[in-house]
Amino acid sequence: MEQKGTLTVKRGLAQMLKGGVIMDVVTPEQAVIAQEAGAVAVMALERIPADIRAMGGVARMSNLELIRSIMDAVTIPVMAKVRIGHIAEAQVLQALGVDFIDESEVLTPADDKFHLAKNDYTTPFVCGARDLGEALRRIAEGAAMIRSKGEAGSGNIVEAVRHMRAIGDGIRELTVAPKEELVSRARDLGAPLDLVTYVAENGKLPVVLFCAGGVSTPADASLMMQLGAEGIFVGSGIFKSNDPKAFSKAIVAATTHYDDPQAVVEASLSLGREATAMDGIDLRKVPESELLASRGV
């Protein structure tokens, strides 16, 4: 008796990634650097979010030959992104054999109303969320892992902080809500009652929660872990810094020992005097239409 693609094995892979760092890479060589630094997985992309942001236009699923060459280059899990609601891109990535699919607002949405029916797939999905309602809607659709959206490619942690705090606050509010309120809370959150009840009773999501969007330094990683992230996605923060090898190692160390400021000091010192993190963007100066986080709610 052998069952593949169950909720348990899909959510289970995300559980194995906890406490780790998942890094965006655009070449097999970068994937090897990430693995050597101690990444628990890589996100295979044609362009990192900072470049997607700079180029504009339509961002799609990455070139399959590139994704396959990254799968061949490393032994850690390989993730890849599909456009929100793009059924065929998701089927293609599953057939290619990637380990995790990110239904991502960083790419240009294919469907402006609906996300994928993710329970239909053997491959697990991760989705972004800005608050508890979004997180629970994605879980209801079948997401096996949630990440904060943050504002990808901005080098600015403020949106990720906002989203992690919103998700955490939403969870804490439910744990003290009287039972009589749960149905109307579910209505207000726009989420199914069974998931709202699960969160009220357990004080946590039923799937792993990572932080994504704007992590650029070891201290950023420690901050997000202290705010309740179970692990970290780093997109542009590594390969837009001036020393990717040093930044990737330091962010991994600061994630593991997020609760030990001395260890974060050592991780930060390991970067050396010349280290500079990626350039950041003041998001108050970015027009609403260029923000990625408001895509797919």
Partner 1 sequence: MASICGRFPRASCSLRVGSKPQVGVLALQGDVDEHIAALERAGAKACAVKTRAALDVCAALVIPGGESTTVIKLLDRFALADPLRERVREGMPLWGTCMGMIVTARAVVGLDQPTLGLLDVSVRRNAFGRQNDSAEVDLPIPVLGAEPFPAIFIRAPWIESAGAEVEVLASYGGHGVMVRQGRVLGTSFHPELTADPRLHRYFLGMLAS
Active centre residues (catalytic) = 81
Residue type present at position 225: M
Residues sharing a CB contact under 8 Å with residue 62, sequence separation 6 or more, in sequence order: 44, 45, 46, 80, 81
Binding status of residue 19 toward partner 1 by CB under 8 A: yes
From the number of C-beta atoms within 10 Å of its C-beta (0-12, 13-18, 19+), residue 205 rates as buried
Binding status of residue 4 toward partner 1 by CB under 8 A: yes
Binding status of residue 189 toward partner 1 by CB under 8 A: no
Between 98 and 129, whose beta carbon lies closer to partner 1? 98
Binding status of residue 8 toward partner 1 by CB under 8 A: yes
Between 238 and 292, whose beta carbon lies closer to partner 1? 238
Site for partner 1 in 97-126 (CB under 8 A): 97-100, 122-124
Binding status of residue 231 toward partner 1 by CB under 8 A: yes
- Least separation in angstroms between residue 183's CB and partner 1 is 22
Distance of CA 2 to the CA centre of its chain: 30
Residue 141's closest CA among 80, 83, 85, 208?
85
Q: How far apart are CA 14 and CA 263, in angstroms?
A: 25
> Can you give the three-state secondary structure of 114-166, one letter per residue?
CCCCHHHCCCCEEEEECCHHHHHHHHHHCCCEEEECCCCCCCCCHHHHHHHHH
What DSSP line would sit under 36-49, residue for residue? HHT-SEEEE-SS-H
- Least separation in angstroms between residue 66's CB and partner 1 is 17
Report helix angle 193-202 to 132-141, nearest 10.
Answer: 120
Between 100 and 247, whose beta carbon lies closer to partner 1? 100
Residue type present at position 109: P
Between 227 and 281, whose beta carbon lies closer to partner 1? 227
Binding status of residue 237 toward partner 1 by CB under 8 A: no
Looking at 192, 204, 283, 286, which residue binds partner 1 (CB under 8 A)? 204
Binding status of residue 258 toward partner 1 by CB under 8 A: yes
- Least separation in angstroms between residue 41's CB and partner 1 is 7
Binding status of residue 261 toward partner 1 by CB under 8 A: no
Q: How far apart are CA 26 and CA 28, in angstroms?
A: 7
Looking at 38, 109, 192, 280, which residue binds partner 1 (CB under 8 A)? 38
Which neighbouring-strand residues pair with 209? 146
Binding status of residue 259 toward partner 1 by CB under 8 A: yes
- Least separation in angstroms between residue 40's CB and partner 1 is 4
Cβ atoms 81, 61 nearer than 8 A: yes
- Least separation in angstroms between residue 228's CB and partner 1 is 5
The Cα-based distances of 160 to 32, 186, 215, 229 in angstroms read 27, 24, 8, 10
* Mask for 56-85, x = binds partner 1 (CB under 8 A): -------------------xxx--------
Binding status of residue 13 toward partner 1 by CB under 8 A: yes
**Interface with partner 1 (CB under 8 A):** 1-6, 8-9, 11-13, 15-20, 35-36, 38-41, 75-77, 94, 97-100, 122-124, 203-209, 225, 228-231, 249, 252-253, 256-260
